[in-house]
């Protein structure tokens, strides 16, 4: 099975939305609105097309991942970072390493664009394999009621979060 990874383009939007809907369809933790979040994030001024990535098998889109520029803020300082949300793989193609390919490519592109860290809320058993650590270990908090074990951050460059702490500030698209 040959899976290729490329940048999402505008012609992909409807297909990507369907992939996201299918991926989250049977998830009890989801309100099945992730595709709407992606639609809103594509409208943000900070939207970076190169950080919206698709996985394809024989020209069919089977997965997608999006990174969005956000901030971690404390009383004195703010630090630019990225939010990883969401990542989706069509159910039929899950557990074949496509999610991992998307995440690793997202990391590579984030570094290329000079980002030094990523934060996310996600499955506690999935993200540590990519190097994600509990965000609380960096004193990074989220404005959502999510259990500690689901709140993650990764240093794309070792030590890059050493002096970064505070609350993650999401664009309002995340709350609509």
Ligand X SMILES: CC(C)(COP(=O)(O)OP(=O)(O)OC[C@H]1O[C@@H](n2cnc3c(N)ncnc32)[C@H](O)[C@@H]1OP(=O)(O)O)[C@@H](O)C(=O)NCCC(=O)NCCS
Query: x/- site string to ligand X, residues 8 to 27, per CB under 6 A?
Result: ---------------xx--x
User: Which residue, 25 or 113, has its beta carbon nearer to ligand X?
Assistant: 25
Q: Which stretch binds ligand X (CB under 6 A): 44-52, 71-79, 93-101, 166-174?
A: 93-101
CB within 8 Å of 88: residues ≥ 6 apart = 19, 20, 22, 23, 24, 34, 63, 64, 65
Q: CB–CB of 148/136 below 8 Å?
A: yes
User: Which residue, 55 or 140, has its beta carbon nearer to ligand X?
Assistant: 55
Q: Closest separation between CB of residue 62 and ligand X, Å?
A: 9
Q: CB–CB of 104/84 below 8 Å?
A: no
Q: Closest separation between CB of residue 8 and ligand X, Å?
A: 16
Q: CB–CB of 99/20 below 8 Å?
A: no
- Residues 93-99: contacts with CB under 8 Å, at least 24 apart: 93/57, 93/62, 93/63, 96/1, 96/3, 97/3, 98/3, 98/55, 98/62, 98/63, 99/63, 99/126
| Nearest one of 66, 98, 101 to 84, comparing CA atoms | 66
User: Which residue, 23 or 83, has its beta carbon nearer to ligand X?
Assistant: 23
Q: Which stretch binds ligand X (CB under 6 A): 46-54, 67-75, 92-100, 155-163?
A: 92-100
User: Which residue, 74 or 94, has its beta carbon nearer to ligand X?
Assistant: 94
Among 95, 145, 159, 162, binds ligand X (CB under 6 A): 95
User: Which residue, 5 or 87, has its beta carbon nearer to ligand X?
Assistant: 87
Among 3, 74, 122, 131, binds ligand X (CB under 6 A): 122
Binding site for ligand X (CB under 6 A): 23-24, 27, 86-89, 94-100, 122-123, 125-126
């Amino acid at each position: 099975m040959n899976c290729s990874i490329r940048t999402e383009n505008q012609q992909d939007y409807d297909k990507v939305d369907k992939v996201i809907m299918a991926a989250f369809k049977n998830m009890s933790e989801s309100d099945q609105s992730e595709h709407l979040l992606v639609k809103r994030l594509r409208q943000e001024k900070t939207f970076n097309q190169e950080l919206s990535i698709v996985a394809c098998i024989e020209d069919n889109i089977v997965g997608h991942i999006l990174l969005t520029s956000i901030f971690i803020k404390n009383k004195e300082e703010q630090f630019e970072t990225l939010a990883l949300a969401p990542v989706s793989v069509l159910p039929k193609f899950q557990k074949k390493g496509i999610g991992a390919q998307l995440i690793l490519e997202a990391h590579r592109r984030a570094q290329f664009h000079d980002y030094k860290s990523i934060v996310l809320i996600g499955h506690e058993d999935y993200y540590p394999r990519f190097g994600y650590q509990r965000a609380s270990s960096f004193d990074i908090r989220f404005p959502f009621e999510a259990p500690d074990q689901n709140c993650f951050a990764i240093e794309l460059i070792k030590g890059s979060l050493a002096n970064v702490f505070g609350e993650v500030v999401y664009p309002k698209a995340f709350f609509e």
